[in-house]
Structure 1
Amino acid sequence: MSFLKTLFWIVLSAVVVLFSINNWLPVTVNLWGGLQADVKLPLLLFVFFLIGFVPTIIYYRTKTWRMSKRLDTVSRQLHDERGMKAFRAPQRSTEPEANPIAPEAEVNENDELHLTTPAPKADKA
C-alpha cells in the first residue's frame, strides 16, 4: 500500500510540474482602485487552492479532535461502569453457616493476623 501512495504522489507532482512549465504565463489581476498585478498563473492557482483548502482541513481536523475526545470520555465511562459491575455488593447466601470460626485457626504468639486466621473476639467487660 505504501508503494501505491508513493506512486500517486510522484504522478501528481509530475502533473503539477508539467502544468506549471506549460502555463508559466503572466496573468494580469485587476485589484481595487485601478491597481493591477502581474502574477504567474501556477502561483495564482496555488494561492487560491490554499485559500479553499486550509479552512476546510482546519475544520475537519478540529471535528476529528473533538470526536476523539468524546470517544475517549465515553470509553473511560464504559470502563468505569464495567469495573463497578465487577465489584458489586456481595449477596447473602440462604445456607446457614456451620461454624464461622474454624477450630484449627490459631492466633500467632505475636498476635499477628493473617488472612487465614480470624480476628479474636473482644471480651465485653
Structure 2
Amino acid sequence: MKILRTMIGVLALISFLIFAIYNWKPVEVTLWQNLVMETRLPVLALLAFALGFLPAWTYHLSVKWGLDRRVRALENSLKHTALARHHEPQAPATPVARGVDTPVDKSGTGPGETPDPLSPVDAGGEGEGSK
C-alpha cells in the first residue's frame, strides 16, 4: 500500500513540475483595493492546493486520533476484564456427606424437575433390578 501511495505522490509531483515549467508567468492578485500581490502562477496554484488540503488533513488527523483513543480504551477495558476473571477466586466445592439424605431423587434431579433423558443412569445398586 505504501508503494502505491509513493507512486501516486511521485506522479503528482512530476505533473506539478511540468505545469510549473510551462506556466512560469507573473500574475497579479488583488488582495484589497490598494494591496496587490505579484507572484508566479505555480506558487498561486500551490497556495490554493494547500488552502484546500490543510483543513481536510487536520480533520482526518483529529478523527484518527479520536478513533485511536477509543480503540486503546476498549483494549484496556478488555485486558482489565480478562485479568479480573483470571484472578477471580474460585468458589470452593461443597462437600458431600455420605449417608445423608438430600432432596434429590434417584434420577439426579431436584424436587419438581424432570429427569434429563441423556444423563447416565445410576448403576449403584439401589435400582429396581439390583436385589
Q: TM-score normalised to the size of structure 2? A: 0.63
More helix by share: 1
2:14 counterpart of 1:7: no
Q: Which moved more, 1:2-11 or 1:34-43?
A: 2-11
**Cross-structure match for 2:104:** none
Once the two structures are superposed, residues 18-71 of structure 1 have per-residue CA deviations (whole angstroms, 9 ceiling, x without a partner) of: 111111112221221233222111100101111121222122112211221221
SS of residue matched to 1:24: coil
SS of residue matched to 1:77: helix
Deviation at 1:4? 4.1
Q: Which runs of 5+ in 2 are unaligned?
A: 98-131
- The residue type paired with residue 80 of structure 1 is H
Q: TM-score normalised to the size of structure 1? A: 0.65
2:55 counterpart of 1:55: yes
- Paired residue total: 97
**Cross-structure match for 2:27:** 27
Q: Which runs of 5+ in 1 are unaligned?
A: 98-125
The share of aligned pairs that are identical, in percent, is: 26
**Cross-structure match for 2:66:** 66
